[in-house]
Structure 1
Amino acid sequence: MTLVSTLGQSLDQVERLKVMQLQLASLQTQIATGKKTQLFKGLGTDVIASERAREGISRLDNYINNIDIVDRRLKLMIGAMNEMKNQAESVLNAIEIQTQQGEYEIGAVSNLARNTASFLRDLVNTKDGDRYLFGGSETTTAPLSNTGTMQTYMVTQLTSWTNAAIDTDQLVSSYNDRMALTDTIIGYSAPLSSGTAKNVYVRVENMTEIDYTVYANSGGMRDIITGVNMMAQIDQVLDKVTLESGDPVGTVTAPGATKQEQNDNFYQFFNDMAAMLNRALDSMDSELYALSQSQAQISKIKESHKLDKNIFADIINQVEDADMNEVAVKLNSLQIQLEASYRVTASISSLSLVNFLG
C-alpha cells in the first residue's frame, strides 16, 4: 500500500497543539490562582503599576506597624499616669480629711504615703517589653531608682525645721526648689538628671513625625513623687503636731514657742503639700491631654493609611487579577479547539493514498 507523506502537516499540527496546550495550562492556572500570570514579566507594561502599588502597600504597612507599636506604648503610658493621679489623689484626700478634722494622724498618713511612694516608683518605671517609657530616648535605663538619698535629704530638712534651724518658708523651699532638691537626689537616672535624654518620636508618614515624650522628671510627675515622699517622712521626725501638757520629754513637734505657733507652722507646711499635689494633678492632666491628642492623631493617620492601602490593592487587582468569566469562556473555547485539533492530527497521521484519493 502506497502512503502519502503527511510529515509536514503533522509537525505543523503538533506545533499548533503545543501552543494550545500552553494556552490551556495558562488559563487553568488563572482559574486556580485568580491571577493573570505567575511572573511579573507576564504583566507586560502593567508591571510598573503593580510594582509601585506593592511598594506603596509595603511602605504603608511599615507606618501602620510603627503606629500600632506607639499606640500600645501610649496606652501603657496613659494608664500609668492615670494610676499615678489616683494614688496622688488618695494621699491628697487623706491630707484634706486631716485638715477638715483639725487633727493630724501622723502615722496613718505617713504610712499611706510610704506605700503609695513605692507603687509610684513602679509606675514611673513602666515598660513596654524591655523599653522604659518615661525616660525619653534613654529606654534601657530605669528613670527612677530608690537610692535613699531623697529620703535622707527630706528627713534632714524636717529635722532642721523641728530644731528651728530653718523656718517653715525655708522648709517649703527645700522641696520646691529644683536647685536644692535636685533630680539626682530624688533618684532620677543620669540622662534625665543631666538633661541629655532626648525626645521620642514615631514616623507615621514620609515627612511626619509625632512626639510622644513624657519625662519621669516632668513637672507633674516629679511633684507627685516629691510630695508623696515628703509626706512619707513626716513620722520619721515628728511625734505630734503640737506639744500638750503631760507629753513625754523629748516629744518632737512642729517648731514654735507656743501651741498656736506650732500649729500654724505645721499647717503652713501641710497646706503647701496639698497645694503641690493639686498643681501636680493639674499638670498631669495637661500631659495626659497632650498624649491623648497624639493618640488621636496617629489613629486618624492610621485610618488614612488603610484607605490608601485599599486604593493600592485595587490597582494591583485591576492589573493582576484575571476576569474569571472571560477566562472560563476562553478555556471552554480552547478545549473545543484542542479536541478538534486532536481529531485532525489523528486523521492526518492515518492518511493513505487510498484514503487521500477518496
Structure 2
Amino acid sequence: MNSTPAHLARYYNGGPTGLAGPNPLEHVLFEVKRTIVGQDLLLERMAVALLAGGHLLVEGVPGLAKTLAVKSLAAAIGGQFHRIQFTPDLVPADLVGTRIYHQPTGEFQTSLGPVFTNLLLADEINRAPAKVQSALLEVMQERQVTIGRETHRVPEPFLVMATQNPIESDGTYPLPEAQVDRFMMKVLVGYPAQPEEYAIVERSLQPAPPVQAMLTPESLTAMQGAVQRVYVDPAVIDYSVRLVAATRSPGRAGQPDLDRYVTYGASPRASISLVLAGRALAFLRGRDYVLPHDLDEVALDVLRHRIVLSYEALADSVDADTVLVRVLRSVPVPDVVLRDR
C-alpha cells in the first residue's frame, strides 16, 4: 500500500491508543490460539467480523482447521455454535426450521432450525441449491427468520462463517452476487508453514485442551456497542469511497490497462463494509479512532469477492487480488488530522 504519512507513523507503532487497559478480545484470541496453530489472519478477521456485526466467507482446501477455528472462537466467547454441512439435497427447513403438527393438541408447533445460534458454520455453502441459499440470505441480512406467518429473531451476537472449496466444482452451485455481497469479507486460507505444520502434528498426538469461555455473548454485544463509538474521520470515509470507486473505473485511478479486466466494480455496500471493518480493526488494535491504514489492511478481504472480472481477465490468468493491489496503490492516502471528538 501507500507509505504511511510521517505525522501518523507514531500511531502505527505502539502510539497512543485512546483506550484504557488491554482489549478483552485479545484474551479470547489468545485462548483460541491454544488450540489453533497459525491462521492468525483468519482469527483476526473472525474477530473483526464479530465486532462489526458482519459475516465471513472463507475459501481454502480441506484440512486447514476452518471448522475448528470457528468452533473454538464460539467456545471462547461463551456462545452457541452450530455447523451445517451443505449438500444438494438440503431444503430451507433444514436451516431455518419448520412447523410441525402436534396431534394430541391439534395445533402446529414451530421447530426452530440450527441458524438460531451465535456462530453458524455453513460448510461448503456453494453445494446447496438456490432455495437454501436464499433462506440463509434473509438470516444474514435481516437477522430474523420467517416461518409461516411468524417472525423469529436470531440471538445476538450472530455470525455466519461460510466455507468454499476452491479445488472442486462438480455438484456445486455458484453463489448469487446478491448473497456474496452480504459477506463483509472473504478470506483466503493457505497452507501452514512447515514449523506451524510440525506444531499441528505434534499437538494432534495428545488430547486438545478444552477452550475456556473468556467472555459472554452479552459482553461481546457491549463491545460491539463500543466499536460503534470509535471515531471515523470524514477524510477516512472519503478514502473508502475513493477506494471502492477505483474498482469500478480503474482508468480514472490511473490504471487504464485494467479497465478491460473489470466488468463490474464493488457496490456502495463495499464502502460501508470497508469503514465498519476498519473501525472494528482499530478497536481490536486498541484505538478509539480509525486511520487509513486500517482500511488498507482489510481492503483486499472486503473487495475481492465484490468485483466481477471479465472473460479477458480469465484468459490472461488475472485474478481479483492482482487487479485490486494495483488499483488500491493508485489511490492517494489522505492526511487525517486527529482532533478532539
Q: Same fold (TM over 0.5)?
A: no
The bucket for the TM-score relative to the shorter chain is under 0.3
Structure with larger RCO (C-alpha < 8 A, sep 6+): 1
Q: TM-score, normalised by structure 1?
A: 0.25
Please identify which structure carries the higher strand content.
Answer: 2
Bigger-Rg structure (1/2): 1
Please identify which structure carries the higher helix content.
Answer: 1
